[in-house]
Amino acid sequence: MKTNLDQYFKTSENFEKNGVWFDISDKIGFLLKPFKATNPRIKAAMSNHYKPYARQVEMGTLSQEKQQEIQVKIFIDVCLVDWKGVEIDDAEVECNSENALKFFLALPDLFDTLWKHAGDFTNYKEDLGNS
């Protein structure tokens, strides 16, 4: 279906499936898939990560730190595809869940920046040219 709103709101299936690069510099970047409600992986990741804490969530006793950790884990599962140029002590580190969790918890402003990028559909818009 083609509409007159496609140029404003249509996202690229390719970008949604494979992600887009968010470059911090010419050597450092993160390949991210979008975080959007229609992504079925979100529900599965939320269920997986919140299930062990269901009672605490229900009672309102889940700590802010644990909530942040869960949010980061969901983001890693749903959005993070890869990274480039990420180093610890001048050595490049592999993009995996364990390293990503350490980085994002240690650098919450980096995580917030990437979270916002993944949540902004305009970063995944299809290039329709000058429509």
What is the rounded distance in angstroms from the CA atom of residue 131 to the CA atom of residue 123?
18
What is the rounded distance in angstroms from the CA atom of residue 26 to the CA atom of residue 2?
36
Q: In this structure, are residues 51 and 62 in contact, taking their beta carbons and an 8 Å threshold?
A: no
Tens digit of pLDDT at every position of the chain (131 positions): 777 766 666 666 767 788 889 999 999 999 999 998 777 788 888 888 888 888 998 889 989 999 999 999 999 999 999 999 999 889 999 999 999 999 999 999 999 999 999 988 887 877 654 44
DSSP H stretches of helix in 10-107: 13-18, 40-50, 54-59, 64-78, 97-106
Residues with Cβ within 8 Å of residue 50, at least 6 apart in sequence: 57, 70
Domain ranges of the chain: 13-119
Residues with Cβ within 8 Å of residue 65, at least 6 apart in sequence: none
The neighbouring-strand residues paired with 32 are 20, 80
Q: In this structure, are residues 13 and 6 in contact, taking their beta carbons and an 8 Å threshold?
A: no
* Planar angle of CA 51, 56, 61, nearest 5 degrees: 150
